[in-house]
Structure 1
Amino acid sequence: MNVLHIDSGILGEHSVSRRLTAAIVAQIKVDRPDAKVTYHDLVSEPVAHLTGAQIMAPADLDGVEPALAADVKAGRQMLEEFLAADIVVVGAPMYNFSIPSQLKAWIDRVAVSGKTFRYSEAGPEGLAKGKKVIVASTRGGHYSAGAAAAMDHQESYLQAVFGFFGITDIEFVRAEGLNLGADQKQFAIGEAEKAIAERSVLRLAS
């Protein structure tokens, strides 16, 4: 089993999303000790934002200047890691109602026509079927229900983009209300960690 572990929280050791993704991956390793984990910290090793030069670069990179060629190769490697993964674990805090720009930059490298999706006469088709995506979603307020749900462009976006890739098994492990006081924060983290601990590999890999 191949596991791709992505972190994008900018708060380092204070990041709740990083704490939750670490717990998720640790639980997978308990259930499946043979799991091979590939890890990317998109904050300490950021992915460059997508440019026209990257998109227009020839497949063989012939004549492409070295810095651009290295960047394109790095993006292609990230795409191959995504395609090879059986489970993708993503740490996705909500920043200003959406996802971190670091995470969006990574998504732009794996959203590749002909690889993770294609367009046909029948419309778009996802090509990355058969994976499970587990998102550690953290929010300062409450956005899963009520009037504030309309401002959720974090979970809704991730659901849409991974679904566009053909992935139907998408699970959110959520801790919200983290900025509403110390007691609420500890409660939310505790509930999320309890949910992770109660999962078995049969569900994780379903």
Structure 2
Amino acid sequence: MKLLHVDSSILGQGSVSRELSANVVATLHTIHPDLTVTRLDLAATPIGHLTAAHLAAAQGALVDDAVKFDVAMGQAALEAFLAADIVVIGAPMYNLGVPSQLKAWIDRISVAGQTFRYGDQGPVGLCGGKKLVIASSRGGIYSEGSPAAAFDHQESYLKVAFGFLGITDITFIRAEGVAMGDVARNGAMDSARKETAALAV
């Protein structure tokens, strides 16, 4: 079984989402000892945002070496995603949405004919059967029922984006309110650890 572990936080060792995603991967290892993990750090090795040059290269146009290199990175990322049975994503909330590095990666794996197609009834996802676990961190409280729930363009976007690709088995491991003082942060982390441990049940 293959697992793709993607992190997108720019905070390095101080990142909540990185800690959560690492805990998720470790927990899944206990369930699947034979798990093969591929690691993708979008902050340390970012994949470029989709541009006209990338689209031109896909049509066979001549492009410079920098674009060729980035196209190859995008293709490798797509292949790793397609090969994975489980995908674990560390996804912090930045300014009410996902990090731009994570959005760039999603743009590069959302490829017509490979991860989705358009049929007579509209788009059809081609990635059904994958399990997706998203380690979500938020400075404030944005979960359903909170006064700020309408501002959530992070988890809501991820659910729709991967649903578009056909993935319906999506679990969110959430730590929110982590910027609201030590008590709130510690409580959020304890709750997320319990949610992670439940994956092994």
Question: When the two structures are superposed, what TM-score results if normalisation uses the length of structure 2?
Answer: 0.95
The 5-angstrom pairing of residues 73-112 of structure 1 reads 73-112=72-111
**3-state DSSP of counterpart to 2:148:** helix
Equivalents in 2 of 1:8, 1:181: separation in Å?
23
Equivalent position amino acid for 1:105 in 2: A
1:192 equivalenced with 2:192 (yes/no): yes
**What is aligned with 2:179?**
179
> Equivalent residues in 2 for 1:15-30 (5 A)?
15-30=15-30
For 1:122 and 1:195, the matched residues in 2 are separated by: 37
What TM-score, normalized to structure 1?
0.93
The answer to whether residue 65 in structure 2 is matched with residue 66 in structure 1 is yes
1-side partners of 2:82 and 2:169: how far apart?
Answer: 15
Match of 1:8 in 2: 8
Quote how far apart the aligned CAs of 1:62 are: 7.3
CA distance in 2, matches of 1:177, 1:83: 34
Map Cα deviations across residues 153-194 of structure 1 (whole Å, 9 max, x no partner): 000000000000000101100000111110110110011112
CA distance in 1, matches of 2:149, 2:159: 14
Q: Post-superposition shift, 1:49?
A: 0.8
Note closer, same or farther for the CA distance 1:120–1:146 as it changes in structure 2 (3 Å cut): same
For residues 162 and 38 of structure 2, the distance between their equivalents in structure 1, rounded to whole angstroms, comes to: 19
1:57 partner SS: helix
The amino acid of 1:174's aligned partner reads: R
Q: Is the 8 A contact 2:53 2:63 kept in 1?
A: no
CA drift of 1:28 comes to 1.1
Distance 1:45 1:181, change over 3 A: same
Which residue of 1 is the match for residue 33 of structure 2?
A: 33
Is the contact made by 2:93 and 2:99 (CA closer than 8 Å) also made in structure 1? yes
Unaligned runs of 5+ in 1: none
Equivalent position of 1:127 in the other structure: 126
Structure 2, unmatched stretches of 5+, are none
Alpha-carbon displacement from aligned partner over 1:17-46 (angstroms, at most 9, x marks no partner): 000000000111122121010001111111
C-alpha separation in 2, matches of 1:80 and 1:44: 19
